[in-house]
Amino acid sequence: MAVLVIADRDGDTVRDSTHKTVTAALKLSGDVDILVIGQGSKAAADAAAKIAGVRKVLLAESAGLGHQLAEAVEATVVGLAGGYDAILSPATTDGKNFMPRIAAKLDVAPISEIIEVVSKDTFVRPIYAGNALETIQSGDAKKVITVRPTSFDPAGDGGSAKVETVAGADAGKAAFVSDEMVKSDRPELGAAKIVVSGGRAMGSAEEFHAVMDPLADRLGAAVGASRAAVDAGYAPNDYQVGQTGKVVAPALYIAIGISGAIQHLAGMKDSKVIVAINKDADAPIFQVADYGIVGDYKVVVPELMKALG
């Protein structure tokens, strides 16, 4: 049984979510290959080749693949699928976009966002916004799976796999127009060791940034937000932590002015230590918090900055 992992490429390297997906893949088979897709991705392929336990790295390049367009990725991966019993990708927005398309072309049922590998054909995945977990057994000969990165430890470095070039397909009827990526010097939300998240209590975008940014910079943390804060326009959409946004599991999660709606809890409840600061002592967030402070963030956050020194 051989497994293909589609890398989450980031410029000249691959993101940590790739290492975590390799960990899941190694539970299925000792023969794990990585596919790096893009344009000008040789450096990223070399980075992927260093991941421990990887057999070889395949590099596919084309204009359509540069922006991970689903049509191009699907055509490329389906061309390679014959050699593999399972195809895995991290459950990023890219993976969620192209994996079901690949599955349909191969006539298999996709398995979305697994959090555990029970055996070679049995997996655990959250349903109902994380309020239930289903254990499912796949009857398909070939499996197409997305992996929730926060549920797996990253595979280490130390490998020296060979890099092979394979044919990259084009996107056909879809074309890339533009990107508008949020630039930040802070760690990426999904990979940060500490996340500080703000809620609707902030009242405005100015206040949100005035409160959250200095605290995040002091802690070397990523900034997150509740859906309510994003919907109100206080924070950009890619800050959203929750079932419909990003799922995070940092060592420390600090929720500030967040009441703790079910869908938010689904996105952060696997964090190692949770801190909640909220003036409502009955807010549901306190039911999952290891440490809670009942108080107005306007008072507590400046005190916290002082206590951190």
* Interaction between residue 139 and other proteins (CB under 8 A): yes
Count the residues of the shown chain that bind other proteins, applying the rule CB under 8 A.
90
* Interaction between residue 289 and other proteins (CB under 8 A): yes
Q: What is the DSSP string of 183-237?
A: P-SSPPTTT-SEEEEE-GGG-SHHHHHHHHHHHHHHHTPEEEE-HHHHHTTSS-G
Question: What residues contact 168, with CB distance under 8 A and at least 6 apart?
Answer: 37, 60, 61, 62, 64, 65, 72, 76
* Interaction between residue 257 and other proteins (CB under 8 A): no
Return d(Cα 174, Cα 172) in angstroms, integer.
6
- Member of 19, 20, 148, 246 binding other proteins (CB under 8 A): 246
Closest to 101 (Cα-Cα) out of 71, 125, 61, 79: 71
For other proteins, the closer of residues 35 and 91 by Cβ is 91
Question: What residues contact 178, with CB distance under 8 A and at least 6 apart?
Answer: none
- Minimum gap (Å) between residue 57 Cβ and other proteins: 22
Map residues 64-83 to x or -, x wherever contact with other proteins holds by CB under 8 A. Answer: ---x-xxx--x---------
- Member of 12, 162, 273, 296 binding other proteins (CB under 8 A): 273
Q: Which residues in the 206-245 window bind other proteins by CB under 8 A?
A: 219, 227, 230-231, 236-238, 243-244
- Member of 96, 120, 186, 279 binding other proteins (CB under 8 A): 96
What is the sign of the dihedral through the CA atoms of 82, 83, 84 and 90? Answer: negative
- Minimum gap (Å) between residue 249 Cβ and other proteins: 12
- CA distances to 52, 76, 84, 167, 228 from 79, rounded to whole Å, are 26, 5, 11, 9, 43
- Minimum gap (Å) between residue 30 Cβ and other proteins: 25
For other proteins, the closer of residues 54 and 277 by Cβ is 277
- CA distances to 26, 91, 93 from 192, rounded to whole Å, are 24, 17, 18
- Member of 16, 97, 166, 232 binding other proteins (CB under 8 A): 97
- Member of 140, 170, 207, 213 binding other proteins (CB under 8 A): 140
Q: Which residues in the 38-67 window bind other proteins by CB under 8 A?
A: 67
For other proteins, the closer of residues 162 and 291 by Cβ is 291
For other proteins, the closer of residues 162 and 218 by Cβ is 218
- Minimum gap (Å) between residue 234 Cβ and other proteins: 13
* Interaction between residue 274 and other proteins (CB under 8 A): yes
Q: What is the DSSP string of 63-109?
A: TGGGGT-HHHHHHHHHHHGGG-SEEEEESSHHHHHHHHHHHHHTT--
Map residues 158-197 to x or -, x wherever contact with other proteins holds by CB under 8 A. Answer: -------------xxxxxxxxxxxx-----x-x---x---
Return d(Cα 126, Cα 107) in angstroms, integer.
23
Q: Which residues in the 103-122 window bind other proteins by CB under 8 A?
A: 103-105, 107-113, 122
* Interaction between residue 252 and other proteins (CB under 8 A): yes
Burial of 162 (0-12, 13-18, 19+ CB in 10 A): exposed
Contact stretch for other proteins (CB under 8 A) within 40-48, 158-166, 203-211, 270-278 = 270-278
User: Strands 110-114, 143-147: parallel, antiparallel or unpaired by DSSP?
Assistant: parallel
